[in-house]
């Protein structure tokens, strides 16, 4: 099991304990012991593995707190929490949800969907970005509540099958492969296999229209590298970074809101001018940072091995 999963599992327990109000002593967010180095500077900002993880996850309370649901562009809406993204795509024949996040967040997602004026029961398809609990633990409950069909990347199936909150079997109705498309009500999403963070890490692309103009939306799967890079993981990242760089992108999104500066963009909504989520210049921001971190970690690991 890859070392970075331990941090996510620990934080998942912390978030669920807070949400359920159990008498169990609440776990504190624990990062890998060597995660405070190396330090890199990308686009004028400094990052360490520890700071990136903390930025993405926030506090256990952040992971569970509803972020104001809102329209991103076209028929695409945000229905996630402060630090865990969930996206709703509305179509005339039913809706598509990407990322159920923690099981404890499913009622919050339902609340957000309904606050936007849509029906939770209209969700017909459930997709995911990658097989970590903070993104897909709620799949079984969401399917139970909506009857949605679940479609996930083949390489993530073993990890998903091992994800059984409360003993629930993880629902997998259809297995996807790199380049497969998912279509509903005139909307077509393309699944791009971008492994490294998990074996089946999936970046989703789709066109959206606003004011008569079409834009390319990229919902990125995290490319944050683990602390220990094995040859298979190195090979996966060396495939994924060029692929993500090659995607046509006008609207960059991510499975954690910080990856596309949601707070700053949301604050600019409704103040006139161009939709702040249309940000082609920002499309390379996250992948540039993650790629630089990958190479810094790899260099550090190789240097340590040579000592």
- Tell me the pLDDT tens digit for each residue of 76-111: 999 999 999 999 999 999 999 999 999 999 999 999
Q: What would the pLDDT profile of 28-80 be if each residue is shown by its tens digit?
A: 333 444 478 899 999 999 999 999 999 999 999 999 999 999 999 999 999 99
CATH class of 4-22+48-305: alpha beta
**Residue scoring higher pLDDT (24 or 284):** 284
Burial 255-290 (b: 16+ CB within 10 A, else e): bbbbbbbbeebbeeeeeeeebbbbbeebbbbbbebb
Identify the burial level of 24 via C-beta atoms within 10 angstroms of its C-beta, where 0-12 means exposed, 13-18 middle and 19 or more buried. exposed
* DSSP class of 186: T
Cβ atoms 92, 185 nearer than 8 A: yes
- pLDDT band at residue 305 using 50, 70 and 90 as cut-offs: confident
Measure CA 272 to chain center: 29
Look at residue 307 in the predicted model and tell me its pLDDT: 63
* Domain spans in the chain, listed from the N-terminal domain onward: 4-22+48-305
Question: 70 pairs with which residues across the strands?
Answer: 78
CA distances from 188 to 91, 96, 216 (A): 10, 10, 12
pLDDT score of 74: 97
């Amino acid at each position: 099991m890859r070392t970075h999963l331990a941090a996510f599992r620990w934080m998942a327990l912390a978030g669920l304990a807070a949400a359920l109000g159990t008498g169990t002593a609440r776990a504190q967010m624990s990062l890998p012991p060597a995660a405070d180095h190396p330090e890199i500077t990308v686009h004028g900002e400094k990052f360490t593995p520890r700071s990136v993880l903390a930025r993405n996850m926030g506090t256990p309370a952040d992971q569970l707190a509803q972020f104001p649901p809102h329209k991103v562009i076209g028929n695409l809406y945000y229905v996630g929490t402060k630090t865990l993204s969930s996206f709703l795509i509305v179509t005339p024949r039913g809706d598509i949800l990407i990322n159920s996040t923690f099981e404890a967040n499913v009622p919050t997602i339902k609340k957000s969907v309904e606050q936007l004026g849509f029906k939770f029961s209209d969700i017909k398809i459930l997709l995911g970005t990658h097989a970590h609990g903070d993104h897909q633990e709620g799949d079984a409950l969401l399917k139970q509540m909506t009857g949605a069909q679940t479609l996930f990347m083949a390489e993530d199936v073993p990890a998903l099958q091992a994800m059984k909150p409360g003993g629930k079997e993880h629902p997998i109705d259809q297995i996807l492969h790199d380049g497969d498309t998912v279509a509903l009500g005139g909307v077509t999403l393309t699944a791009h296999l971008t492994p490294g963070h998990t074996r089946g890490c999936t970046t989703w692309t789709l066109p959206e229209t606003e004011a008569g103009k079409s834009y390319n939306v990229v919902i990125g799967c995290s490319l944050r590298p683990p602390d220990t890079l094995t040859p298979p993981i190195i090979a996966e990242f060396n495939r994924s970074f060029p692929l993500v760089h090659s995607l046509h992108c006008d609207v960059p999104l991510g499975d954690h809101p910080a990856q596309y500066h949601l707070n700053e963009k949301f604050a600019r909504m409704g103040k006139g001018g161009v939709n702040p989520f249309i940000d082609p210049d920002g499309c390379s921001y996250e992948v540039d940072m993650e790629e630089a971190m990958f190479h810094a970690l790899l260099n550090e690991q190789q240097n340590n091995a040579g000592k």
